[in-house]
Structure 1
């Protein structure tokens, strides 16, 4: 048993080292040798989010969530303001799952919880993508970059499809009714 634990610990250490990043971007996880900086990574994340939201038909209203940066990574978020009823969540997740698979994303995990379902995937160039359904059927999309060179990160240029909640600390619960996505919601 001790040998298995030791091997497992060694593997974890090697994985951590292989996926490490440095502040100057010398080591880049997921996109070996890339010179992508945080702004370019944010733009790539925006493109990933634009593509999945364009795929959702009928369309939904969404707003930007907060952008966050780490030492060598950036995260972009979008919050769906359209109510996705419990009866439509499976269809919504299925549509996104099929699109991500068609886009050659690797599905890393699926949470099939009735109340808080989620899908976690990764693009071929190392960006982590997730969809999480929260309270009242509110859907959250998030894209996390791999380690990239440090740089300033501008706000997204894509305009939200509904009201903007920029500067507001807490985005409200979903408040847009869709004849399709909100069907059966109370």
Structure 2
């Protein structure tokens, strides 16, 4: 009778280690991120953010926001400096959601809050994207990488299409757009 309990106690640590390694992609076997290091993942996250922001017409102004790296992941962020009016916010979120779906990303959640809506998406290889609207309507894009091989990570190389603010000094949206800042909803 004691053998099954003892076997479970002996096997459990191995199962937990296996689950943790699989969660970091180490045992996933053949995934797109298998041979990727943190810099590669950061570059891919930047490219996804570039493409997402590039899909917005008319163009919006943005700047780099804080980025972080952990033991095996990287998070890149960009703040939108263009004022997206409350009346145009739904259209803006719709542009992003349709672009992400067209890009093959799975929409994993939508926060339909009128004041602070958000959209969450995931790629087939574990990158996660977020668009969130925060204080004074500031739109923030975020890309989180899956766990990949540890490496050094450099600053993003894509130049913002407006001022490059020092970290901690990014103002609330202050760039007017005839289209995105308009007080009238789209017909």
Please classify the TM superposition score into its range, dividing by the shorter chain length. Answer: 0.7 to 0.9
Q: 1:75 to 1:148 in 2, by over 3 A?
A: same
Partner of 1:80: 80
- The DSSP-based 3-state class of the residue aligned with 2:23 is coil
- The DSSP-based 3-state class of the residue aligned with 2:160 is coil
Q: Structure 1 runs of 4+ off > 3 angstroms?
A: 16-19, 25-33
Q: 1:136 to 1:33 in 2, by over 3 A?
A: closer
Q: RMSD across aligned C-alpha pairs, in angstroms?
A: 2.4
Q: How does 1:83-162 map to 2 (within 5 A)?
A: 83-162=83-162
- The DSSP-based 3-state class of the residue aligned with 2:42 is helix
Paired residues of 2:33 and 2:125 also in contact (CA < 8 A): no
In the superposition, the TM-score normalised over structure 1's length comes to 0.83
In the superposition, the TM-score normalised over structure 2's length comes to 0.83
**Number of equivalenced pairs:** 169
Paired residues of 2:85 and 2:182 also in contact (CA < 8 A): yes
Partner of 2:4: none
Runs of 5+ consecutive residues of structure 2 not aligned to the other structure: 1-15
Runs of 5+ consecutive residues of structure 1 not aligned to the other structure: 1-12
**Cα displacement string for residues 25-82 of structure 1 (whole angstroms, at most 9, x for unaligned residues):** 7456994671200100000000000001110000000000111011110001110000
CA distance in 2, matches of 1:172, 1:124: 34
**Cα displacement string for residues 111-145 of structure 1 (whole angstroms, at most 9, x for unaligned residues):** 00000000000012210000001122210000000
Partner of 2:63: 63
CA distance in 2, matches of 1:50, 1:98: 16
Q: CA deviation at 1:20?
A: 2.7
